[in-house]
């Protein structure tokens, strides 16, 4: 249940469910999702479900990860990316195969330690992990070609679109009772916002935990 063949079955399922970006599919097939979840859940790692991580957080279902990263790429290479909500580090690991440089922010210290261990185990060196409040993004490392947020905010934090490079893409869930995936693209003359499908994420919270 944790073999490369199992990952390829997951990739085939993602393709059947509508993921078209071959680069994203290849990255999903390369990263072993089972090492990012608790050992007792490893046999479910490649099912299309979210799984608990502790601390009230979850690892997103494979389709959700693939969908968000496909939107973030928009069919183009990513130079610099920002992820808000590292969690266990799985999405950052997949993103490391799509971007030259990845900055990822996590507010919960216990999760951050696990993410760092997993990224080291896979010898991923282009992901920079930061223990911080990610609600305002990370302007000091921008501008970014892609920003992906793995928690739902009531509205788009006003600082985030400003941290996009021209042509950059922000993907995040927005809403409280009903959440929807939102894509923001920065153009030369401003921002274009598109509201997409209903999703279900943990809420975006401010502050950090030690």
**Catalytic residue ranges:** 60
Q: Fill in the DSSP letter of residue 122.
A: T
Going from the C-alpha of 155 to that of each of 67, 132, 133, the distances in angstroms are: 20, 20, 17
CA angle 111, 103, 28 (to 5 degrees): 75
Cα distance between the two ends of the chain? 34
* Extended strands (E) in the chain: 51-54, 57-59, 78-84, 99-106, 127-131, 144-149, 164-174, 179-187, 190-199
The values of phi and psi at residue 151, to 5°, are -150, 150
Q: What is the C-alpha separation between 37 and 46, in angstroms, rounded?
A: 11
Closest CA relative to residue 186, chosen from 157, 158, 166, 162: 166
């Amino acid at each position: 249940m944790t073999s490369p063949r199992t990952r390829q079955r997951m990739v085939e399922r993602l393709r059947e469910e509508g993921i078209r970006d071959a680069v994203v599919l290849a990255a999903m097939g390369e990263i072993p999702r089972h090492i990012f979840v608790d050992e007792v859940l490893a046999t479910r790692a490649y099912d299309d479900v979210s799984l608990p991580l502790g601390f009230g957080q979850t690892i997103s279902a494979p389709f959700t990860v693939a969908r968000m990263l496909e939107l973030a790429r928009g069919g183009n290479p990513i130079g610099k990316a920002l992820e808000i909500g590292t969690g266990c580090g799985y999405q950052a690991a997949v993103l490391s195969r799509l971007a030259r440089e990845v900055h990822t922010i996590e507010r919960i210290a216990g999760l951050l330690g696990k993410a760092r261990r997993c990224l080291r185990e896979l010898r991923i060196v282009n992901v920079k992990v930061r223990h911080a409040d990610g609600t305002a993004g990370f302007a000091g490392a921008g501008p970014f070609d892609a920003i992906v947020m793995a928690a739902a905010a009531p509205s788009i934090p006003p600082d985030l679109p400003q941290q996009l490079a021209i042509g950059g893409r922000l993907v995040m869930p927005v809403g409280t009772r009903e959440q929807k995936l939102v894509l923001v693209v920065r153009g030369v003359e401003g921002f274009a916002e598109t509201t997409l499908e209903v999703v279900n994420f943990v809420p975006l919270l401010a502050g950090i935990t030690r």
